[in-house]
Amino acid sequence: MGWKGKIGVLGAGRMGSALVKGFLGSGFPAKDILVSDKDEARLRHLAREGVRAVSDNLELVKGADAIFVAVKPGDVRRTLDEIKGLIGSKLIVSVAAGVPIRKLEEKLEKAKVIRAMPNLPCQVREGAIAYSRGKLVSGEDARVAGELLGRLGVAVELSEDMLDVATGLSGSGPAYFYLAIDALTKAAVEDGMPREVALKLAAQTAKGAGETLLKTGATPQELIDAVRSPKGTTERGLEALEKRGVAKAFGEALRAAAKRARELAG
């Protein structure tokens, strides 16, 4: 972890705040993080963490070496028009869903552009992040981008045509798992379990399932088979899910989200 520059996060909404919190949690010095937003309340909230919060995007661009653009996809064009004169050859990491590198490079002629798809667990450094590099990004720039994004969780470089798929998988994905956790919790509560306990068991089960996959290297099917015994409890649960087409629905969720990402690109 050798990069010594300053990070700028433009847009302090849900994702921008998650990035700031993740960088802070990784030990990146608060004094080397700048954040800007139009909304003063959001800035005040982050300023309490010790980062430099500014309302002027140009001040942020001047002061930062690597700039994360975390505004809504529809605001990217306007935002880049505002800052492009000061970007020069700085590293720009756009996290906007759907906005292709080509469009970012058209605006920022000399900038080194990375397009990334993070997710909200970046705030606790458990993010799943996919990223692609633009044409002016050197090997060293890509290493820096990988180092910075790696502070927020697991970061993988992919070809750009996979980023909309990553949006449907890991960008939107936390919501799919929250939905499952919420549904399981509600059912347990209906059957008499205290909400707090049910939520803790459901969330830890999701975490434990993911951790087991990552740490053992076993396939999901192998792990399903390890939980399921013939005519046992899990089999009954899985049959109920199958009857409702849940596996197919997850595939459809990924594709619908990826399609929406392509639409947002305009």
Ligand X SMILES: NC(=O)c1ccc[n+]([C@@H]2O[C@H](COP(=O)([O-])OP(=O)(O)OC[C@H]3O[C@@H](n4cnc5c(N)ncnc54)[C@H](OP(=O)(O)O)[C@@H]3O)[C@@H](O)[C@H]2O)c1
List residues binding ligand X (CB under 6 A): 10-16, 36-39, 42, 57, 70-73, 75, 79, 95-97, 117-120, 171
Joined together, the tokens standing for residue 259 give: 């399609």
Least CB distance to ligand X at residue 55 (A): 8
Which is closer to ligand X, CB of 51 or CB of 198? 51
Which is closer to ligand X, CB of 57 or CB of 132? 57
Nearest to 126 by CA among 62, 170, 161, 189: 170
CA distances from 259 to 49, 76, 98, 264 (A): 36, 19, 9, 9
Which is closer to ligand X, CB of 65 or CB of 75? 75
Least CB distance to ligand X at residue 13 (A): 2
Least CB distance to ligand X at residue 42 (A): 5
Q: Which residues make Cβ contacts (< 8 Å) with residue 20, sequence separation at least 6? A: 9, 12, 33, 35, 46, 49, 51
Which is closer to ligand X, CB of 61 or CB of 198? 61
Nearest to 184 by CA among 200, 173, 170: 200
Joined together, the tokens standing for residue 47 give: 């300023």
Least CB distance to ligand X at residue 215 (A): 25
